[in-house]
Structure formats: C-alpha cells, structure tokens
Structure 1
Amino acid sequence: MNKTSKVKGTLEVLFVIGLILLIPLFFAIKSVANAPAAQGTGTPYARATATSVPQSKPAISSSSPIQTNAKQPPQCTFPLAQTTTTVSAPENYTFSEPQVVSPSNATANDGITEIIDWLPNNQQVLLAQSVPDTNENKQNIELFNPQTGETQVYATRVQMNEPPIWIAGLNAVIYGETKVLKSTQKSGLEVPPYEFERQLWISRGDPKNAQLLKDTHLTADSLSDFSIATQPGGSEIVYLTNEDKQLSKKNTLSTGETPVAFDPAQWNYRGALRPQYLMAWRPGTSQIFFYTYGVGNMGYTFLVDADTGSVCELNFGGWAFFARWSPDGRYLAIVRNQEPSLPANSTDLAVLDTVTGKLYTMKVVSQEQVGRHYVADIAWAPDNYHLLVIGGVLSFPGCAPNCKEDTRLYLVDFIAGKVDDLLPSNQFIANNSGTNLAWSLDGTKVLTLCPVDLCFISVQRNGQ
C-alpha cells in the first residue's frame, strides 16, 4: 500500500465545514523514511512536569464573542466520581524489530489506511482503508489479522472523519455516514446550502446486509458527522452531532434509545463556531470525555455523565487533538496543543491523574533534535503506567510540501519522566491522531503505520 500522509479526500471535497475541522499540518505531511536519526536513549531526557489542576476557572479571551445564553461548566473536582482505587503494577516491555505486513486484499494503489484498534481477541485489528482507483472517496471498514494477512470487509462507506467502532458483544461494527444529495456548484466545487442524509449503520460482517439504525434528512449550510463513543467492554453507545440538543444513548443489544440532556450550545461560552465534539468513554464508568478543536480560541475539554447529562470542565492548560483513557480509567492522556491555532506549532503529551488532579506533561521528543516537535499519537500499555507514542520533528517551519520529518516510536513512563527511543533506525508515519498505531489489550502486539506499509511488532511482557 502507498502510505502518503495527506489530508483525507473527504475533508477536501465533501466535508468542507470550516477551519474547525482542519487537521493539523503535521498530520498532513509526507513522512520521509531517510530522515536523520538520533541515537537511541533510555535516559529521562524529557522529564515530566507534574502540577495540580487549577480549581479556578481559566480566563476567557476578550476577543472571543460569548453567547449570551451560554455558560461555563463548573470545574471538575478530584478524585473524580467512579474512580478506581485498584493500583496496578508497572511492567517491562521488550519490542521486536518491525515486520512489514499487508492485508490480503491490498493493492499497489491503496490509499490511506487508518488503524482504529485491536479487537478483544488480540488477533484482529479494525482498519479503515480508502478504496483505490475510485473518484467517490470510498472507504472500506475491515478486520485484519496481521499474523495471517486475512482480511474481512464489514462495510464500505463514503470516507469520513469519524472512525468506526467495534461492539464486542455483537461481533459488529457501528459506523456513521454522510451522503450529499444536492448542493450548489461554484467553480467546480460544492458550496452551501447542502441537502444531505446523515446515517448510522451496524454491520455484522456482510456489507450487503448492513442495518440502518438512524437516518436523518437535512438541509444546512455545513455538513456534520456523528460523534460516536462506545462503552468499553459494554454494549452501550452514545452519539451526537453539533446541531443536537441532547445525547442519544442506545443499547446495541436492544432496540430502545434513551435521550440524555446535553446541549452543546449551552456550554459554548467562548462562542466557538459550531464546535464538533469528539468523545472518549472512561472505562468502568458512565463518564465521557468531550473535547473539540479550538480555532481562534481554546477548545473545550468537558467531562459528561452519560446517565445524567451533568457536565464539568477539565483544565489541561491547552486543548486536545486526541484522547485515550488508561485501561483502568484512572489516567486520561491527550495530545495537547497549548495555542489556539491551526496548524499547530507544536504538541506535547499531557496525562491527568483523576485521583489526585495532577497533570503530567512531556515533550517526548529529545530537545536536542532541531525543528518543531510533535506528539502525533498515543496508545496505552496494559499496566496503566506506560504509553506508546509516535513523535516527530519537522525540519523547519513552513516547509510544506517538501518537509523532512523524523518520526519515531517511543515508550513513555510519564510518572518517572522516562522516554525510550524504541527503534531509532526505523521511521513511522503520522497521519490523523488516533489512526497511526494500536497496542493489543494483552500487551503482546503492536500495529503501526510505517513508510512502506503496515508494521507488526511483537512485545514481551515482564513484571518489574
């Protein structure tokens, strides 16, 4: 497959909804496999900084128009409700050299591949693969076994930003799709208003027999996708669009649907332009982390209870491109931007301890490497102490489209402030956050994007 780090065709053609959905520049630049490599190190060159999360409300920029009917949520207090008191033991991990792997249905003209996550069986990975040689921006949703190459296509849809989600109890994939029915053509481009269908589907393995769960016919000045989250290890999903005035909660094992009071406009106190929220469901709880990009002002980082609709605000000293909860739900890690700008000048790793309220921050990439430093993606280890991080350095500002990028895989112990450059002789790919790597639940397998194709890495676990 030809892995080019370009912005999705959907964003270029169909889903043109303003700057709020632009992807940061460093996720849209082609990785160069022969970028200069630094020496590997196991020393804590990127010492973590731990601070207490302020309980006072952050200042609101005077340049940001505030909606008169919007208000700021209260600050979250710690420990968060439903927080686990179980303490896991840290482990040692040994990583093999990457092995290039390809799905059985791969072709030389394949486009962008997105790695969504490992399935609970620790054998298959959920992928989203753009369909080659078409002008329709189609995308296959498929299961891939990296050790056998076996691939099963579950669905084909118009390519879009929202990833599919796996429902283990049903052996099924749930995914959204937005279909433009009518628009105005201007200079060869589709411009508003748009007439479109926004749909929610479930597939149990046969693309031809996918079941339509929800279908809404709309006419609007901007296209909107579903934001979807699934309860880890459970059967519930919630979904939301930026026009909705409530969360929709559905048990996938039944036909019922429950509305939950949550109006995004009520909490848009910075007056952002139609914020499109992303969601990450906290394991073992009813809490969901809601976050959104910020353009011209900082984005939002809210914690919403999926049962009651109650909202509080988390302060990361910046806003999130991507978020992942630790397996036990105690820690929340984000790829953080500290400036209200797109493209981002730099990003780092921020991890919140929901017991103490401490915020750990790390640059990850060695400061000895000259250029703009980025954290592009993260994946948790099963011990709740370590993260795999894809980090990169752009050679110089404003280098597109001829950037030289050194993109590597790091193992981070955020509490100790220790970073290991795992495979310094290898280069990796940084596309959109959340689509570049996945670590299996049993901790023994890693799948990443690499310049040639997909790369499979075996992992040995050893207790410390």
Structure 2
Amino acid sequence: MKRMLSIVGSLLGLLVLVGLAVVLALSFGGLRRAAEPASQSFQSPIETPTLPPYPPPATPAPPSLPAVPVPPCRFVGHPAPAELGPPLEPYQFSEPKIVLTHPAAIGIAGWLPDGQQLLITRDLPGTNHNSIDVFDPQTGELRTYAEREGNSGKPVWLPALNAVAYLTLVAEKGEGQPISYRPELWISYGNPQQAERLTSDVWGFSLAVEPDGKRLWYFSRSEPDRPQIFDGETRAIQAALLDLAPLRYLKPGLEWAMRDRSPDFKMAWRPDGSQMVLYSQFWTFLVDVKTGQVCELNLGTYNPEAMDIPPWPLEAQWSPDGRYLAFITTDSLNLPLRRTDLSILDMETGERRTLSPGPDIEPGRHYVTDMAWAPNSQVLAILATVEYRDGATWEGLYLVEGATGQNKHLLPHIVFPAGDTGWNLAWSPNGKSLAVTCLYGPLCLVEVTWP
C-alpha cells in the first residue's frame, strides 16, 4: 500500500494546475497547430543531481469556474438482462515464477507489442534515481534505455520508433527561493548515454501514445489547457486544438472541495483510436475523435453529508477490443484514501459495475490496487488488499469477468506486496503470461492457460 499511496500522493500534489477541462470545437483531424521542431541535441539525463521523491510545486487554482455542465455521455445500446458470463474455472494460473531479482523496487510499465519483452523500471538503491529497462523474461536479457530522477510517472513505448519516452525531474532554484522541481520529456532509442531531451516545457506526469504508435501526447506549462503532441515521424512538437479550460465546470454541492483545487488530467486512448478518455479528480471526459464532441462519464453517486466526493479515477484501462473501460476509483478527497474500487463501464450500453473483491480490512475500508485486461477482453486480473498486519497491506490476485463482475480469488495461499497503482500487473498480448511483482520485490511471471 505504501507505494500505491506514494503515486497517489504525487497525483494529488499536482491537483492544482491552471484550469484544465475538455472542449473540442473542431474535428480531431484539425487538432494540430503549426508545428515547432523538437530539440535535436543529445544530452545525458544522468548528470542531474539527486532529487527528493516528490513532484513539482503546485500552481494556484483559478479564482472561478463556469457553472455550465458538460453533457452526460449517452450510449446506443441497452443493458441486457443480468446473467452469468462464461465460467472462470477454465482459466488456470500457475505458481509465480521469479524471473528477475533486484535489491530495490521494480515497476511494471507494460508489455511491448511483441509480447516477448516487458518495459520496466528499477529503483536504484540509496538514490532517487531509477532505470528504465526492456526485459525479456524468457532469455533474461536486460537492456537499460535510460536513467532518470524521481518517480516521474510511467515511461511509454513508441512502437513506430522502437524508443521509450519518459519524464525526469530537474531542480530549479530562484534567488532566495526554495528548490522546486519540474519535469522534462526525454526519449531514448536504447543508449542511455545518448538519450535526447525533447522539451523542458512539461507539466504533470501523464504520457499517452496514439494507437498507431507514432505520436505522443503530454501537457505543458506554457499551454496547460491544451495537450501537446510530439510527432515521431516529423520530429515536431505541436499544440492540440483540444482546449480543456472552458468545460472544467463548478459542480453544485462540491464548491467546498473544488474551491482550492485545479486537478490535472491523465489520458487513455481507445485501442481503435476513435476516442480518448481524460480523467481527473472532478471530471472524467470522453472525447469522440471523429465528431469532435465531448461528454462526461458518470462513475457513481456520492453522499455529500459524509463529505465524500463523486468517485474519480486513479487509473483507467480500455479492454483490448474497446468494449469496456475499467477504472480504479476512490471517493476520497485527500490522503489517506478510505477505499478504492474497481469500476467497469460498458461503453456500448453505459452499464456500470463497481466492486471490490477483497475483504474490508476495517469497516468500509478496502482497496483495489492494480488491474490488467486479458487479450480476449472478457476478463481482467486485479490486485486487491486481503490483509493488513504489522503496518503493511498485502494483496491477493483475483480474476474478474468484465460483463458481470463475477470474480474468483486466484492462488489464495499467496500474497503480493502493495505497490503504486498501475505498476504491478500486466497481461501479455498472447494471454499466456501475467507479469506481477512478488513478495519482497522480485519480478515474477504467472503462466496462464485459458479457453
């Protein structure tokens, strides 16, 4: 749980950006402005000093918000009568097998498209550095692409370039001012000594690659309301015409919570490239690429008297076929989080299921900490807290059926360590292997047989 709270702390530390919300006035084909060339110089990110493990200082929230709501998303399908999906018993999971050990934490960023290699990070003991590596579990080959400062969000793979893009923290100190930290965007083609800085104009830790693998989206300090796009083919950086500010509206009954917060957004692309979801602490927007329309997704109700806020996502993942959108959600405003749940939204019917397969470790306190879709888009694996002892939480591995929410505790005699949300689980594209961080830190593979 410790590592999960650290990444959520980083997220909440950034929840006071200059106004971000979503509006799309033009079609997606017109989302780009005149391009500016990216930096062509090669610099090493390894020579920067050691930094504290926290994000840059926050920017004050805007003084007021518009009150005009974003229209809710509407769905063409109709919910079918509830019925059991295919049985979960045919899915068989082996005991975890250690494939990589390391004296500090290992983070799983995801499988590469070839299904043979993993993109991972390894914390470097005694420092605030971590390395970004490509690892082949079958051969044991480990190739370091970069070394960076701080826990600066997930690196992402650009298949069209065979390269990894990542953020690293850099110290800034004005005269008479305390040291602050800002992220920079870098790219590496495999040689850490020749990693290239693309830009220092970055805000937040969210990186998203378009499904064709050619363009990278991120946010900038200079235009925090518009995502920026790095085009790997033209090597140009250009601002999107996707303006987030006007639709970041004030929600009735939440004035007390929204007054001093201006949360940043994270992004996730639908696998076919037709839509993207942008999500933050108060708004979850769906952008239709073809029509240029924006609507708001509802992730659940809340109790204002209990000083809750509506459920909001810490992490979002589309199913490989784009039918479902899964979220890890919480209704907590601040740390420590009271609970986190798994919410699965059917993007054809709008039907939503919210569950937490693990037990309450205290009344009303339970946690879903990670998720990974199977390539068949029917089931997903999750990690959920099953035990709290000696000041630490321990996770169990569960299998969840996406259409019904039915679930099964896998390998109930084995517990896994709590970690950062989204960093500890990845299902291989061929469906045969589940990568997971094991007890005391090693990287493990669980072999899967499924119908």
The answer to whether TM tops 0.5 is yes
Tell me the secondary structure at the aligned position of residue 193 of structure 2.
helix
| Counterpart amino acid of residue 314 in structure 1 | L
Match of 1:167 among 143, 158, 161: 158
- The answer to whether residue 138 in structure 2 is matched with residue 147 in structure 1 is yes
Tell me the secondary structure at the aligned position of residue 208 of structure 1.
helix
CA distance in 2, matches of 1:77, 1:95: 38
Please name the residue that 2:199 is paired with: 214
Please name the residue that 1:78 is paired with: 75
CA distance in 1, matches of 2:183, 2:63: 29
CA distance in 2, matches of 1:281, 1:449: 25
CA distance in 2, matches of 1:172, 1:377: 25
Please name the residue that 1:303 is paired with: 286
Please name the residue that 1:84 is paired with: none
Cα deviations across residues 109-150 of structure 1 (Å, max 9, x unaligned)? x2x22111011111111011112233xx11111111223322
Residue 336 of structure 1 and its aligned partner are, at CA, apart by 1.4
Please name the residue that 1:248 is paired with: 228
- The answer to whether residue 170 in structure 2 is matched with residue 179 in structure 1 is yes
Residue 308 of structure 1 and its aligned partner are, at CA, apart by 7.3
Q: How does 1:86-235 map to 2 (within 5 A)?
A: 92-102=90-100, 106=102, 108=103, 110=104, 112-134=105-127, 137-183=128-174, 190=178, 194=180, 198-216=183-201, 224-235=203-214
Residue 306 of structure 1 and its aligned partner are, at CA, apart by 5.7
Match of 2:414 among 421, 426, 438: 426
TM-score of the superposed pair, with normalisation by structure 2: 0.75
- The answer to whether residue 393 in structure 2 is matched with residue 405 in structure 1 is yes
Q: Provide the aligned C-alpha RMSD in A.
A: 3.3
Q: Which ranges of structure 2 fall in alignment gaps of 5 or more residues? A: 18-60, 78-84, 251-257, 301-310
- The answer to whether residue 338 in structure 2 is matched with residue 338 in structure 1 is no
Judge conservation of contact 1:116–1:163 (CA < 8 Å) in 2: yes
Q: Which ranges of structure 1 fall in alignment gaps of 5 or more residues? A: 22-63, 81-87, 218-223, 294-298
CA distance in 2, matches of 1:365, 1:166: 32
Distance change >3 Å, CA 177–CA 355, structure 1 → 2: same
Cα deviations across residues 168-217 of structure 1 (Å, max 9, x unaligned)? 1221101122311315788xxx46xx4x6542211110011122222339
Judge conservation of contact 1:129–1:139 (CA < 8 Å) in 2: yes
Cα deviations across residues 360-415 of structure 1 (Å, max 9, x unaligned)? 122212469977221111100111110100000454xxx8xx42534100001132
Judge conservation of contact 1:5–1:429 (CA < 8 Å) in 2: no
Please name the residue that 1:290 is paired with: 278
CA distance in 2, matches of 1:449, 1:176: 23
- The answer to whether residue 422 in structure 2 is matched with residue 455 in structure 1 is no
CA distance in 2, matches of 1:371, 1:99: 34
Tell me the secondary structure at the aligned position of residue 246 of structure 2.
helix
Count of residue pairs brought into register by the alignment: 380
| Counterpart amino acid of residue 247 in structure 1 | P
% identical aligned pairs: 36
Residue 79 of structure 1 and its aligned partner are, at CA, apart by 3.6
Distance change >3 Å, CA 239–CA 421, structure 1 → 2: same
Give the number of the structure whose residues are more often strand, by fraction.
Answer: 1
Distance change >3 Å, CA 264–CA 184, structure 1 → 2: farther
Residue 241 of structure 1 and its aligned partner are, at CA, apart by 4.0
